[in-house]
Structure 1
Amino acid sequence: MSLRFRQLQAFHAIVETGTVTGAANQLGISQPGISNLLAQLERHTRLKLFERSKGRLIPTPEAGVLYQEIDTVVRGLDHVAQAVTDLQNKQAGQLQVASPHSLSFGMMPKLIAEFSADKPDMSIAFQSNYSTKVQEWVLAGLFEVGICELPLLYDSFETEMFQFETLCALPEDSPLAQYDVLTPEILEDEPFIVMGPEHMTHRRTREAFHNAGKRWRPRVHSHLFKNNLSFVKEGMGVTILDPFVVKFDREGGFITRPFRPAVTIEMAIITSKARPLSAIGQEFRKILSAELAAYRI
């Protein structure tokens, strides 16, 4: 017996709507087309599937049994068709993004929420970690799109580079607020909250003080910009921050000033050269690029 899915779909639609007209409207084909498909199905199965009563088609007991068997199949394939449409319209799929911690406390959740607002069926995988780990994740295929600080440890990425200027954060009641710009001369012997010695902001701030011939006084060493800002709010010193922690802090308790010579930080959007980027990934990468571009120098 050779049953075609279109025959089963037509039969299913007739049971659902009760009429050939309703089935035709549901499937978007002509009434004669529906009638022909039903006739083919009855011929192939050698079963009478409907009785006519006052313009409606009443399923026979045999039709009731057949309907129960094919209902899951028809609905399942309808869901597949809808999933394909959603993917074509970028309404479904999975967004897989990883970023450094500093972007995870405000910027990335906000951007992902805005991106997914019209994509209710899209699933989201987001993680933050140190930049070396983000690179490993993208390289391994665990995430499609990554944002990381430089340097890049592998040559297996498609990249877009960004450079940002940091800001000097200080307690809101600090007497240093009188200055419009802070320098090593002004901040000599001021207690600093700093990132680890391997971090680019640590090296570049130390170099700025060295070149000015001024003493730099690191007091607290931490590993996250967010932690450093918390120490500033407690009055333990000043710190150099990336612009994202500053922008998305909602608590206050600190002020910022430019620092000269400027201490910059470089980041990159990375994707794998070895794997094609999904339509969702491509769309999000464009939006992420535009967002980061607003902060670049």
Structure 2
Amino acid sequence: MHTQLSPRQLEAFLAVVEHGSMTRASQALEISQPAVSRLIADLTEALGFALFDRRDGRLVPTQEARFLLPDIRRSLDLLTRISETGRNITQNKAGELRIACLPGFAISHLPEVLAVFLEQRAGVRVTIEPDRPERILEWMVGEQFDVGITDGFEGHPAVESETIDIRTVCIFPQGHPLRRHTVIRPRDLADLKLIHTRRESMFYRLLSEAFVADGKSLNTFIEARQFTTACEFVRRGMGVSVISELDAAQYIGRGIEFRPFAPVIPHRLSLVRPIHKHPSMIALEFLEIFMSSLQAYAIHPDRSEI
């Protein structure tokens, strides 16, 4: 039965092939000549055939050894790559990150954050899967993704979450009369075509309550699942909408203007991950960076909001 080969034996073999002598190989490897001789002897015994012939004062590989050369080179190259990858993982420069998110994020804020995040992490592979909140929750419970970006999350024993409330604004087509307002209230929108999120969402319920409290009713024109969809309708002059400032900011200079909306209606975002799946350092770093990217749009309880 052959003994296990060691990387050091293979390195010694290649060094002797390249330098033609045990002495020069030992100098290249920065070990003693007897140590090289021992490694070659052990490798010869393990393989069961001679590795070198002596010709004109040089050691040259036998025919059998030459046959092995390509595999030995590939093996050592692979070990080098494994070592480099290991170092990159330790330094959080390599790994895999699977993100489930709301569809709007996949084409707006997320690419911007990932571009910065991956700039110093070229070895990180990212998978992004957009879907509705219900599906994102299923994936988190099933531990199919590392991170989820969702809204309307009401808690689950198998999911850990961090929540942030994002300010909302009223968006309208560029040049619209609403631009004269410094703050827009429900009464200012009563006679306008309103584009809003789906009726079963918490955000819609809060918006509807704000209109009722102001003695007005929603003039529904289009119901859209995503804020980004509402933006596309508004920029084409089809109505106005109340959405997250985070989404509105992506349309600055693209045919949309916006103003603060009062009363304050938070768009509650949750960053979620499977509670029983040990998070990678890459995932934790991403969560920290993504949460930081939201702070400029967050409602801060210690600050005066409109």
Cα 1:166–1:23 change in 2 (3 A) is farther
Separation (CA, whole Å) in 1 of partners of 2:292 and 2:132: 23
State the 1:178 CA deviation.
0.8
Residue in structure 2 matched with residue 4 of structure 1 by the alignment: 5
Query: 1:139 and 1:73, CA in 2 relative to 1: closer, same or farther beyond 3 A?
Result: same
State the one-letter code of the partner of 1:182.
I
Structure 2: how far apart are the matches of 1:104 and 1:119? 20
Specify the code of the residue in structure 2 equivalent to 1:131. P
Distance in 2, matches of 1:63 and 1:173, equals 79
TM-score, reference length from structure 1: 0.88
Q: Secondary structure at the match of 2:39?
A: helix
Q: CA deviation at 1:4?
A: 3.0
1:185 to 184, 187, 191: 187
Q: CA deviation at 1:169?
A: 0.1
> What residue in structure 1 maps to residue 54 of structure 2?
51
| 4+ runs deviating over 6 angstroms | none
Q: Indicate yes or no: 2:118 matched with 1:116.
A: yes
Contact (CA 8 Å) 1:50, 1:57: kept in 2 or not?
yes
Alpha-carbon shift at residue 146 of structure 1 (Å): 0.8
Partners of 1:117 and 1:22 in 2: CA distance: 42
Q: Percent identity?
A: 27
Moved more, 153-162 or 56-65: 56-65
Q: Which amino acid in the other structure matches residue 31 of structure 2? A: S
Distance 1:183 1:31, change over 3 A: same
For each residue in 1:78-127, what CA deviation from the matched residue of structure 2 results, as whole angstroms up to 9, or x when unmatched?
A: 33333322222222211111111222222111212222223333211111
Q: 2:170·2:258 contact (CA, 8 Å) conserved in 1?
A: yes
User: What is the letter of the counterpart of residue 182 of structure 2?
Assistant: D
State the TM-score, normalized to the length of structure 2. 0.86
Q: Is the 8 A contact 2:187 2:216 kept in 1?
A: yes
| Stretches of structure 2 lacking an aligned partner (at least 5 in a row) | 300-306
Q: What CA RMSD, in Å, does the superposition of the two structures yield over aligned residues? A: 2.5
Tell me the alpha carbon deviations over residues 8-30 of structure 1, each in whole angstroms, 9 at most, x when there is no partner.
3321343356565775677x652
The change in CA–CA distance for 1:254 and 1:2 in structure 2 (over 3 A counts) is closer
Superposition pairs for residues 1-297 of structure 1, below 5 Å? 1-5=2-6, 6-16=8-18, 29-32=30-33, 33-42=35-44, 45=48, 47-51=50-54, 57-152=59-154, 154-249=156-251, 252-297=254-299
Question: What SS is found at the alignment partner of 1:282?
Answer: helix
Is the Cα–Cα contact under 8 Å of residues 232 and 238 in structure 1 kept in the other structure? yes
Q: C-alpha separation between the residues in 1 aligned to 2:190 and 2:180?
A: 16
